[in-house]
Amino acid sequence: MVMIFGKPLPLLFGQLLLGIINGSFYAMLSMGLAIIFGLLNIINFAHGAMFMVGAFVAWGLFTYLGIGFWAALVCAPIIVGVFGLLLERAFIRRIYKLDILYGLLLTFGMAQVLQGLATNYFGSSGVSYNAPNALSGVLKLGFMYLPVYRGFVVVAAIIICFVTWFAVEKTRLGALLRAATENPSLVQSFGVNVPRLIALTFGAGVALAALAGVLAAPLYSVNPDMGAQLIDTVFAVVVIGGMGSIGGAILTGFGLGIIEGFTDVFYPQGSAVVVFVVMAIVLLARPAGLFGKVA
């Protein structure tokens, strides 16, 4: 058997895949956080909860309405996105003029409420959600076995990240968003309804979290804490990548997933903290993050 650094090759590939999968979720979630932070100046602590709600909505669509995975990939983000939009209009917009801490507290409270409601209705052990038949089974790649659904998640995540990056960096709507991030009142004086742009951006960021939640549903157990477990790492990713940089969030997300995966092979005790160690080092060397611009 081929060995590298004393470890069998299939194990390394397995961990690489695991790292990329986790990285996919870090990337998708941190992108939404970065977009929301950039325009709203809100650190959305409810982002993990929205991810969880996305997974439960997919489950609910199937269980109560017989709507399957493919339709859920479209419907759940729309439902959660509209929900986010309403939250923004009802609550979040009231605190834009206040210190950033208020946004943090408000969204933290929202996350607690959503998680509490989910625990109340579904119990803390959660429910299970199956991958569609077309994506079940395992591919034999020679050097490793690849569960088809996992391969699908990685490809889907890469496409989602690319499309989001493209929309923000290369389109006219993205230019409005970037400009409004820098100077909202000037953009508004040009005739753009900036409050509406902000609400839509929050809805879109939250929809992105929900989309990641649907993709995660067949991989992990769908439970009220699934977002909370992930979100600490996602915040570290955003801090490392630099608040507000989409490309940075994507690269850092995948990169840290992979680092975490390999740490698990070579120094298992460290896998839970490696991301935070990296964060500490990056903050010492580059306080604005790897891809952040110093304000």
Binding site for another protein (CB under 8 A): 172, 175-176, 178-179, 181-183, 185-194
Q: How far is the CB of 197 from another protein (least distance, A)?
A: 10
Question: In angstroms, rounded to a whole number, what is the distance separating the alpha carbons of residues 25 and 215?
Answer: 9
Q: Which of 63, 113, 111, 43 is nearest to 222 (CA)?
A: 63
Q: How far apart are CA 52 and CA 47, in angstroms?
A: 9
Type of residue numbered 17: L
For residue 277, give the nearest of 225, 239, 229, 250 by alpha carbon.
239
Q: To the nearest whole angstrom, how small is the minimum distance from the Cβ of residue 194 to another protein? A: 7
Task: Tell me whether residue 171 or residue 229 sits nearer to another protein (CB atom).
Answer: 171
Nearer residue to another protein within complex by CB, 99 or 182: 182
Helix (H) or strand (E) holding 49: helix 47-65
CB of 123 to another protein, least distance (A): 46
Non-local CB neighbours of 171 within 8 Å, separated by 6+ positions: none
Question: CA-to-CA distance for 276 and 273, rounded, in angstroms?
Answer: 5
228 SS3 class? helix
Least separation, in Å, of the C-beta of 107 and another protein? 25
Q: CB 243 → another protein: shortest distance, Å? A: 14
Q: What SS3 class is residue 206? A: helix
Between 64 and 190, whose beta carbon lies closer to another protein?
190
CA separation, residue 79 to residues 21, 75, 101 (Å): 25, 6, 28
| Least distance between another protein and beta carbon 81 (Å) | 23
CB of 241 within 8 A of CB of 290? yes
Cβ atoms of 80 and 210 closer than 8 Å = yes
Q: Which residues, including other chains, have CB under 8 Å from residue 10's CB and lie 6 or more apart?
A: 1, 143, 144
In terms of CB distance, is 146 or 192 closer to another protein? Answer: 192
Compare residues 157 and 197 and give the one whose CB is closer to another protein.
Answer: 197
Tokens of 21: 């999968």
Q: Which is nearer to another protein, 136 or 183 (CB)?
A: 183
Comparing CB distances to another protein, the nearer of 224 and 289 is 289
- Smallest distance from another protein to CB 193, Å: 5
* Least distance in angstroms from the C-beta of 188 to another protein: 4
CB-nearer residue toward another protein: 35 or 210: 35
What single-letter DSSP state applies at residue 290?
A: S
